[in-house]
Amino acid sequence: MPQVSPRSVTHLSTRRLVRALDMAVLLGIADLLGRHADRLPAAPADLVPVVPRHRWISGHWARALADEGLALLDDAGQVTHIEAPRRADLAAARRTITTATAGLGYPPVVAAYILDSLRALPALLRDDVSAQSLLFRDSTPDALYRENPVNRYLNAAAPS
């Protein structure tokens, strides 16, 4: 897919693309947590193995999923239901991640990083893999830090 000029990305299209990206990532998270629905009801951090320093993350995810109607939480914050996505929904989410990142002006390596991170969520939560090991391989750092549309804009606006 060709890269989009930062000038062609309007505020409204940016909001739509970011929203689509958020929802696609949430489907990936729902898939992970939904694989452990046999443990429900449960505290979010008890659904998947997670090191203590990451326990807060699963609670944040559970609330985000509940806000989008993909999970139900009881008054104590325990997950009582997760709407596990179908394979077709996950395939569409992968395409959305690729399309949305390109539409936001990011190179394809950024979509690959997001998809790799979703695949590695269990290992990331256990600290078996670091986010940095996924981030700092190949050309990803340049794509995220130098070649992204926000930094291009800021670099162009900065006095020389």
Query: Which is more confidently placed, 67 or 4?
Result: 67
CA distance 99 to 111: 8
Q: pTM (2 decimals)?
A: 0.81
Percentage of the residues of the chain whose pLDDT score is greater than 70: 79
Report pLDDT digits (tens) over 17-38: 999 999 999 999 999 999 998 9
Per the structure block, which two tokens stand in for 91? 């395939």
Q: What SS3 string covers 7-25?
A: HHCCHHHHHHHHHHHHHHH
Backbone angles phi, psi at 155, to 5 degrees: -65, -40
In this predicted model, what pLDDT tens digit does every residue of 137-160 receive, in sequence order? 765 566 566 666 666 666 666 666
Q: Which helix (H) or strand (E) holds 1?
A: none
Query: For the chain, how far is it from start to end, CA to CA, in angstroms?
Result: 32
Report pLDDT for 26: 96
